[in-house]
Amino acid sequence: MRRLPLAALPLILIACSADNATGQNAATPAPKPFATATIADFDSPWAMTFLPDGRALVTEKKGEMILFDPKNGTKIPVAGIPAVDSAGQGALMDVVLSPNFARDKAVYFSFSEAREGVKGVALAKGMFAQASDGTTSLTKVQTLFRATPYVEGNGHYSGRIAFSPDGKYLFFTNGERQKFDPAQDPKSTLGKVLRLNLDGTPAAGNPLAAKGFNPAIWSYGHRNLLGIAFDGEGRLWEQEMGPKGGDEVNLIKPGLNYGYPKVSNGSHYDGRDIPDHAPSDGFEAPKVSWNPVISPGGLLYYSGNLFPAWKGSLFIGGLSSKALVRVRLDGESAAKADQWDMGARIRDVDHGPDGALWLLEDGADGSQGRLLKLTPAK
């Protein structure tokens, strides 16, 4: 195991420019309203989740899962992870605890894999176990669900996981794999939000099954869905990377078509136009969109108490924008609030047991792959 001495983890107060959501005031930089501490360094981390005892599970792109203790910096590899195809945008992706973790010790995770010359995203589950000597593993690992179909290429897997507030259902995102049309294909799960039972089977009563759609589909017409979260009132929010321009935050409702690639607030990378969302076009428009893009990574609904003014906000990790982005929610409405320059690609956002914000950078070990902890500025 590798230990990071706490003495080597200094608290860094950052007081540099922070463009607001409209890009104004760039000439009059203001201090960030939080202090940033570097807690650890990982090799291209992708996602994290906290255990009840304050330790965290962290996934790395190459296919490693790490049990990390923020109190002493201890890192323990978690055995039992299936083979991961990490080429391109492939990775060991999301990791989320079962709603019944205290009882069943189940950990759900997603990963990209290669099978018979094609690739896709899979959802799996294993039981968290730690032996008396400290070695840690996921046991009884089983793959619960695979995207349909697997295709060639290394992009837009998505793979985000969220449980319904009642703990009965699992929502899983499948990207359109840079193939465009599958997002509108009723038989394909690509470019969709899916609603599954906890065993990975399609949930009964999904809104489009009676119309001939794949029975797992909850909503469709999406691109690369890299964040999904329920708010305090049980609404489901999703963010996705748009094409050239047009990154989105969507309020996900059952059975709706969010338009991609038929409509978008962006354009194709080769310059071809995509019609913008328009009233009465039959597609659900985003609640917030960005052009220029922020390249959204992870998505968090903040319910902590450490930043009371931000309670009930969405937080987004910005990749190409190297930013932490806050979106203000008001019922079914959303609006841009803050955008802070973090100086590195931000892959994921979470909050800890004390309400602190935790960010994972997107880079390699030793080069902006850090785990950062944000607390209120003094």
| CATH code of residue 180 | 2.120.10.30
Q: Is 156 a catalytic residue?
A: yes
| pLDDT tens digit sequence for 40-60 | 999 999 999 999 999 999 999
Side-chain-side CA neighbours of 248 within 13 Å: the count stands at 29
Catalytic residue among 156, 222, 277, 351: 156
In this structure, is residue 127 part of a structural domain?
yes
Q: What is the mean pLDDT of the chain?
A: 92
Listed in sequence order, the residues at least 6 apart from 296 whose beta carbon sits closer than 8 Å to its beta carbon are 226, 227, 239, 240, 241, 247, 249, 316, 317, 318, 319, 325
- Residue 184: φ, ψ to 5°: -105, 0
Residue span of the structural domain in which 336 resides: 37-376
In this structure, is residue 337 part of a structural domain?
yes
Adjacent-strand bridge partners of 324: 317, 340
In this structure, is residue 224 part of a structural domain?
yes
Please tell me the distance from the alpha carbon of residue 13 to that of residue 296, in angstroms, as a whole number. 25
User: What is the model's pTM?
Assistant: 0.92
In this structure, is residue 247 part of a structural domain?
yes
Please tell me the distance from the alpha carbon of residue 9 to that of residue 372, in angstroms, as a whole number. 10
In this structure, is residue 27 part of a structural domain?
no
Model confidence at 25, pLDDT cuts 50, 70, 90, reads very low
Q: What's the rounded mean pLDDT across residues 250-271? A: 96
Please answer whether residues 172 and 123 qualify as being in contact, where contact means their C-beta atoms are separated by less than 8 angstroms: yes
Tell me the chain's radius of gyration from C-alpha atoms. Answer: 20
In this structure, is residue 175 part of a structural domain?
yes
Q: How many domains does the chain have?
A: 1
Please tell me the distance from the alpha carbon of residue 264 to that of residue 223, in angstroms, as a whole number. 10
